[in-house]
Each structure stands twice: as structure tokens, then as C-alpha cells.
Amino acid sequence: MSSKEEVRAFVIEALVSLQYATPDVAGDTQLGPAGLDLESLSMAELTVQLEDRFGVKIDEDEIEQVSLMTIDEFVADVAGRLEPVAEGSVRE
């Protein structure tokens, strides 16, 4: 499984755990008000889960930008942050 596929699967799983309906979620679904309408607390929880799983840190000042991203853009951003991380330091 590629890093993008793994991140995408994890993001969808995390959204379900945060009680968001995901059956209609597509790559062009926006995370923020125009799409899933993730609340700031949910967005923060999603970023914490990503950090715990992949070691990817998304700063507080980036969260507003992230909320304007589509699922595909967010997955690409997270996967891009994984590329420089050494294989041994990715958390399972």
C-alpha cells in the first residue's frame, strides 16, 4: 500500500471515529465548511491522531489552511510530509 493510500484509509477511519458520515466522501470533498464541516476540535483531534500514527506534526497555525483543503489535498500534504521521514521512525 502506498503512503497516500495508507494515509487516506487512516483519515477516513479517523473521521468515522469522530462521528462524521463518510459514505459520500470523495477526493474533492472539503474538510471545512463547504464539505464535511469539521469543527475545530475535530480538526485538532484528527491532527493528533495523524501525529500519533505517522509522526506527522501539523501546527496550530496550519489548521485553518487544512480546513480549506479537500480530502485529496490533505492526504497528499500528509503523505508529502512522510517522504522525508526515515522508514524506521514511522510509528505503527
Q: How far is CA 11 from CA 17, 49, 76, in A?
A: 10, 9, 12
* pLDDT per residue as tens digits for the range 55-74: 999 988 898 899 899 999 99
Q: Are 66 and 43 in contact (CB under 8 A)?
A: yes
Which tops the pLDDT comparison, 64 or 89? 64
Mean pLDDT, residues 51-58 taken together: 93
At residue 92, the pLDDT reads 45
Secondary structure in 3-state letters for 45-63: HHHHHHHHHHCCCCCHHHH
Which tops the pLDDT comparison, 89 or 71? 71
* pLDDT per residue as tens digits for the range 19-48: 998 998 999 999 999 899 999 899 999 999
Q: Are 83 and 3 in contact (CB under 8 A)?
A: yes
